[in-house]
Every structure is written in C-alpha cells, then in structure tokens.
Structure 1
Amino acid sequence: MFKHKLVFISPIIILAVITLFSLTMIPSVSPSPKELPIALVNEDTGVSLPDQSQVNMGKQMIERVQSQSVPGKVAPVKWISVDSLAKAQKGMKDKDYYAAFVIPKSFSENQLSLQTPKPMSPEIQLYINQGMNSLAANAAGQILDGIVEGVNEGVRTQLLSSLSAGDAKLTVEQAAMIVEPIHKKVVNVNQIGTKSANGNAPVSLFQPVWMASIGGAVLVFFALQKSFLTGRKQKSAGISAAIGIGAIMALLAGFWTTWFANSVIGLAIPNFSDTALFISLAYFTYFLLISAVLSWLGMKGIPIFVLTLFFGLPLLAMPKEFMSSFYQDWVNPWLPMRPMIDGLRDLLFFGKGFEWSHSVEALTFIAIGSLLVLCGSILKKDRRLPEQPIG
C-alpha cells in the first residue's frame, strides 16, 4: 500500500480541502454594517415662541443625528435626507432604504408641552424594511433604538434640570413622561411574516433549485455523450433536444418546488403561479449555464458550480453593506444566483409578481449568453474516434 503515491499525498489533499472550504466562512465571521442606507424624514412644522422666533426641534434632531459620523471612519449608517414619509415609503418599496427615521409634524409642539402641566408625548416613528434583508433590518432597528434612547436620555436630563431650576412640582402626567419623554413607534414594512424561515426563504428555495439544475444538466450531458452525435446537423439536433428537455424540467422544477415549499414545508407563498414561473426561469437559466460549461469542459466544469455554491451561499443571506470591500466589489456582483434571491424577495415580501424586473432581466441575459455559448459548441471538433464496425 505504501508504494502508492496517493497514500503520501492524501494528507496534503485533506488539508487543502479543509483550507478551501474553511475559506467560505470568511464573509460570515463577525460581520458588521457599513453605510446602511437609512432615510431621514423631518415633517416637523415647528412652533412659534412668545418672542416671535421659530423653533424646529425636529430639524435640530436631524442635524444632531447626522453629525454623529466620525470623519475618516466608515460609519455604520448612511443617512439620506428624504422630503416626506411617502417618498421614504416608496424608497423602502424600491429597496433603497433598510429603514426610515421619521419625525412627525407635531414633534416640536409636543416636546415643548413636556414642561407644562398637561404634557403631550412627542413621537418618533421608526420604519423597518424587513423584507429587504432580515439581518440588515435587525441591525438598523438596533441602531435606531439606540439613537432614540440617547435622545430620550438627553431630553430627560434637560427636563429635570429645567423643572429643578424653576422649583416646580411634577404633575402626575409629567412624572409618567419622565421615564420615556419621547415615544418610539416601530412600524415593520414589507414584513417577512412567521412562515419565511426568518426571512431566509429565498435562500432556502434557491439551494434545491441550484443542485437540481446541476443534476439535470449532467444527465442531459451524459445522454448527449452516449448518443455519439457527429456532424453539425446531428449536434444541432442534439442541443435543440437538450434545450427542450431543459425547458420541460424547468417547468416541473418550478411548480414542484413551489408546491413542496408551500404545502409540505409550510413556507408562505403569496402568489403561487408567479413564484413557480420565476423559479422555472431561474432553473432554466442555470440549466443552460451549466450545460454551456459542460459542452466545452466536460465533467471538469462541475467543480466550478459546486465551489460557486459553497463560496456564494454565505453571501446570499448577507446584505452587501455587511461584506468587506473585496466581496462587495468583486464577488457579490458576479454571483449568478444573486438575481434569483433578489427576485424571490420581491415575490415573497414586496408583493410583486412575475414581471419584467432587474432580476428577470439579469436571468434572461445569463440565459441568452449561456445559450450562445452552448450553441457555439456545435463548432467544436469532436476528438473521439467513431466506433469501428465489427467484422
């Protein structure tokens, strides 16, 4: 046994495999947000003081929040000023913002009333865009909670100091307001619901589709190999048949995956037919992509897609703002599975249907490019020798 070289190189192979697959953990180790886009909305109309001056405490708070960024350091939040709540809500629907920090119209009036016998609690509204990404939404919620708590602490201290300086007695209403002078109202938009695998349903649906597309492409590839097609005419017919079989498998995979996820696993699927058709498109795209690589590289191309899955999977559930600059700029944009994940988020959490969108466009262009490469393999010279007749 010890005469075989494989015995001596097997430890090196094992260490190489462990190292290779351990590298897949790098993106998910201690991820932290960097420049999460959050909308800042100030609808506060302000108040007029007895000396005829105007005070807008909402504007002051917005300026205080924006000034917290440290020059030279990457901030966890990228504050974006938005004119109105309606525009912020549209931006969250379009997946521009992970959250919105909104100051209502009566904020200044209610905050000034805190020093009166009949105080009215000012309110800050926090809109959390759950469907965009649960990890980022939770991080945005925690950041906004911390900001409101900091504002409350400052207002509480100021209120107590003002009341002490005036030697005033607290009313029951004022005492109740001291604990939380500014009320926080949290509104979840594009909600993920309770049957979404904690917002990871798109990734959960992707994995079986990706593996099935690899399996389907390999089976069709072997069938073409065993057919021993020669000449451009036969190869064209074989590839046409393979594409047709792939389209049939895509429809079966799309509707079966959607039915199984909804009826057996229990995932919430708002629109069954649109989701099934989108998954069918994704399967067909990946089938063509894998078939195109197999047509030129043979089974040597399969490790490409296996490694793509292992290296890409940790990134699929992670917002780009949590990635390092390398993964954000050079890995994430080139993952062929990203359009499927984004498209499923639109279908499952944003109430969209199977329509022409960025995700459908990306999958379509990948499919067209793969189809051209697959058809180009017709021109490739066949190195196999034809079978010799017996006798």
Structure 2
Amino acid sequence: MVKNKMVFLAPIIALAVVLIFSLTLIPSVNPTPKNLPIAFVNEDQGVTLPNQTKVNMGGKMAEMIKTSAEPKSGEEPIVDWVTVKSYKEVKQGLDERKYYAALVIPKDFSQKQASLQTPKPSSPEVQIFVNQGMNTMASTLAGQMLNGIVDNMNTTIRNQLLTGLEKQGGMITTKQAAALASPITKNVTNVNETGTHSANGNAPVSLFQPLWMACIAGAAFLTIMLNKLPFASRREKFANQSVQVLIGAVIAILVGFGLTWMADAVGMHIPDFTSIAWFLSIAYFSFFLMISAALSWLGMKGLPLFVIILFFGAPLLSMAPELMSSFYNNWVYSWLPMRFLVDGLRELFFFDKGLSWNHPTAVLVGIGIGGLAVLLASALKPGTKKEGESQTEM
C-alpha cells in the first residue's frame, strides 16, 4: 500500500470532505436578521388635553419606531415594519404567516397615558403578539425586539412624566408612583403556539430527515433493480418504469402513515394524524419521482447529489430566510425542494389547517409531475444494446 501513490490521496480526500461539510455550519453560526417582517397597528384615537392640544401618543410611538428602524448607510434594515389598519387584519396576517410578531396600540392609549399626570392614573397597555409557529428562532427574536422597544419607551415616558410632575411641584400620589415604575404595561400573547412535544417547534424539520433518506433509499433500490432487467424494446422499459412508479406510490403511503405513527409513538404531538400522514405520503411520492428521474438519466452517480442536499439543507430548514445571508437565502435555500415539505408541515402542526390545496401542496405535486415526466422520458434515451438485439447479432 505504501508503494501505491493513491494512498496519499486519502488525507486529501478526508480534508476535502471535512471542508465541504463544515460549510453547512456557516448559516447557523451567527444568524443576523434582515428585513424581519413585524406588523404595527395604531388604533389610538388620541386625546385632547385641557389646553385644547390634540395628542396622539400612538402616532408618536410609530414615528419613534420608524426612526429607530432606519438602517445605516449601505445596510439592510433589521426589521421590516408593516403598518396594518386593525387588529383583525393583523390577526389574519399572523395566521397567514406574513409576520413574525405584531405590536398593537389600543384606542385608549393616549387617554390613559394622559391620566398618569392625574391623581387617578391608569397605565396604558400595548399588545405584543408573537407568531411562534412561523419559526421559533425568528419569532423569539422578534418578540425580544418588541419588548425592548416598549422598555425603551417606558424609560422615555417616565423621564418626561417626572420632569412634568417636578414642574408642578413634585408631589405625587402613591398610585402615581406605582404607575411611574412602568408607565406602559405589556400584554404578550403567543399565537399559533408550538406547544410541548414538538421538538421545540422543529417537528417539521425532524420529520423531513427520515423521509428524505427513505426517498433516497427507495428510489436507489428500485432504480438498481430496473437497471438489472433486460428490455427487448423501449415500450417494455416504459412499462417497467410505470410499475416502478406504482410501487413508489405504495411505498409513499406506507412511509407517510408509518412515519406519522412512529412520531406519535415516540411522544411527538400530532394534531391531525390523517392529514399529516397523507401530506407526508404526497411529499414522499414527489421526492421519490424527482430522485428516480435524476437516477434514470445520471445513474447511481447522481445519488451523492441528494445526500449533499440533505446535509446542506437540514440546518437551513430550521432557520427563517430573514436570518440567512443573502448567498444562502438566494442560492441555496431558495432551491431546496424540501422547504415546501417543512412549510406544509408547519401549517398542519401549528396553524390548525388540515390537508388542503395550498401553496406547499401545489408545489410538491408540481415537483412530482415534473419528476414523472422526466422519468418516463428516460425510456426513450439511447442506451446499451437490448437483450433481443444482442441475441440477433449472435
């Protein structure tokens, strides 16, 4: 072995493998948010002060938020503030996964804020909604940002009130002193909650990995079996590929329901067993057809491609696109077919939506149809001599 020069390639190959798969760690090392969509609702009706001055603290709060959100020159903003007209509209947006969080200023915000300078103060309250099911990491970060904004406003308003009260003589009641400790109260509500037994909100990603490996194994096994068969004609190969597709459909149902049952058996919370099982079956069949199509043209040399997709895709699927670098978002994540599987599972797990013809389902079916067309088309490609031709020549 020492005389064989190929032996010295072993450490080079090992280092190359380490380098390639170390690249999968880059997106999760220091995730930095960019354009994180957060909704802002200002329902404050304002208040007229004794000197006939009209004040709308909600409007001032909106201006402060916009000013603080302005990015430095050449940088993208951390938060993409989306102004929404009403609580009803923002609730719909949260359910449709448009926002990671929302800040709602109620109608009586200015009125209660003005009462803080009276003997009978009533602290104004803001509502913070954290959209947990959309993405655990991003929604937590968005919630922390909103809490920080309200805390900063508390400090500003407290200083303003103290300055105003000092000008009035500096005498305050016990109730006023208590209200000054926290001039604005927060009501934080988690919506579309991930709950318990959901792998900390990553149940969809947890189910993707065994499903994808099962797709690779099933497609590779049937492709190897098909390649070993002699075909007398292209029509015969086409017929055998049709049988391969039917077997893949049966495997898809078994994997979909089997994986759902296994997840339920190990303690994962399954909100709707039938819907999740059928969705996993659809996803498996679509990926099976896609991988089989690639192998039918590339042979088993194409198999490592889907293994690499697994290793590069898994870390990204648990992250929000707004936390990725532009490179990974545009050139890696956007091309991952399994992201539609994870998106569909999020809706089933956390958004109380049953199996329906939504965007993830439509894309998965489209992937399956494309894979089926490419797979069946491989029966027409020129290949090695068929058994019938070989026997004729002999």
Whether the aligned pair in 2 keeps the contact of 1:114 and 1:121 (CA below 8 Å) is: yes
The C-alpha deviation readout for 1:111-130, integer Å capped at 9, x for no partner, is: 01111111101011101111
Equivalents in 2 of 1:270, 1:57: separation in Å?
A: 42
Offset from partner CA, 1:271-296 (integer Å, 9 cap, x none): 11111100000000111011001111
Distance 1:184 1:114, change over 3 A: same
Q: Which amino acid aligns with 1:20?
A: I
The 3-state SS of whatever aligns with 2:196 is coil
What is the DSSP-based 3-state SS (H/G/I as helix, E as strand, rest coil) of the residue aligned with 2:384? coil
Match of 1:169?
A: 171
Aligned to 2:237: 235
Describe the SS at the equivalent of 1:37.
strand
- Tell me, yes or no, if the aligned pair for 1:339 and 1:362 is still in contact at 8 Å: yes
Deviations 1:166-214 (A, max 9, x none): 1232212111112211001101111110111111000001100000011
Quote how far apart the aligned CAs of 1:327 are. Answer: 1.5
Aligned equivalent of 1:150, options 103, 128, 152: 152
Secondary structure at the counterpart of residue 81 of structure 2: strand
2:108 maps to: 106
Task: Give the match for residue 372 of structure 1.
Answer: 373
Corresponding position: 1:206 with 2:232 = no
Q: Relative to structure 1, is the Cα distance of residues 306 and 384 closer, same or farther in structure 2, using a 3 angstrom cutoff?
A: farther
Q: CA deviation at 1:106?
A: 0.7
Q: Which amino acid aligns with 1:50?
A: P
1:71 offset after TM fit, Å?
A: 4.5
Map of 2:86 onto structure 1: 84
Distance 1:385 1:371 in 2: 23
Quick one: which amino acid aligns to residue 303 of structure 1? P
- Aligned mates of 1:252, 1:80 — CA distance in 2: 44
Question: Partner residue of 2:21?
Answer: 21
- Partner Cα separation in structure 2 for residue 351 and residue 5 of structure 1: 61
| Aligned partners of 2:231 and 2:386 also within 8 Å | no
Q: Which residue of 2 aligns with 1:43?
A: 43
Instruction: Work out whether residues 229 and 238 of structure 1, in 8 Å CA contact, stay in contact via their aligned partners in 2.
Output: no
Q: Does residue 1:118 correspond to 2:120, yes or no?
A: yes
TM-score between both structures, scaled by the size of structure 2: 0.96
Partner-residue secondary structure (3-state), 2:354: coil
Q: Give the letter aligned to residue 269 of structure 2.
A: A
Q: 1:251-270 counterparts in 2 under 5 A?
A: 251-262=253-264, 264-270=265-271
8 Å CA contact retained: 1:111, 1:122: yes
1:214-233 correspondence to structure 2 within 5 Å: 214-233=216-235
In 2, distance between residues paired with 1:282 and 1:200?
18
Give 1:90's aligned amino acid: Q
Q: Distance in 1 between matches of 2:72 and 2:22?
A: 35
SS at match of 1:188: strand
In the other structure, the counterpart of 2:281 is 280
The answer to whether the Cα contact below 8 Å between 1:44 and 1:103 also exists between their aligned partners in 2 is yes
SS at 2:332 equivalent: helix
Check conservation: 2:317, 2:339, Cα contact below 8 A: yes
Greater than 3 Å deviation, 4+ residue runs = 384-389
SS at match of 1:227: coil
What is the aligned-residue RMSD (CA, Å)? 1.4
CA contact (8 A) 2:113 2:122 kept: yes
Residue equivalent to 2:322? 321
1:197 aligns with 2:211: no
Hey, what's the Cα distance between the residues in 2 that align with 1:126 and 1:382? 63
Q: Which amino acid aligns with 1:65?
A: I
Q: Deviations over 1:58-105 (max 9, x none)?
A: 111111111111342322111011100111111111111111111001
Secondary structure of the equivalent of 1:199?
coil
Residues 41 and 85 of structure 1 are in contact (CA less than 8 Å); yes or no, is this contact kept in structure 2? yes
Deviations 1:206-264 (A, max 9, x none): 100000011111111122122223311210111011000000000001111111111x2
Segment drifting more, 220-229 vs 123-132: 220-229
Counterpart position of 2:187: 185
Q: Is 172-181 or 212-221 further displaced after alignment?
A: 172-181
Taking the aligned partners of 1:230 and 1:92, their CA distance within structure 2 comes to: 58
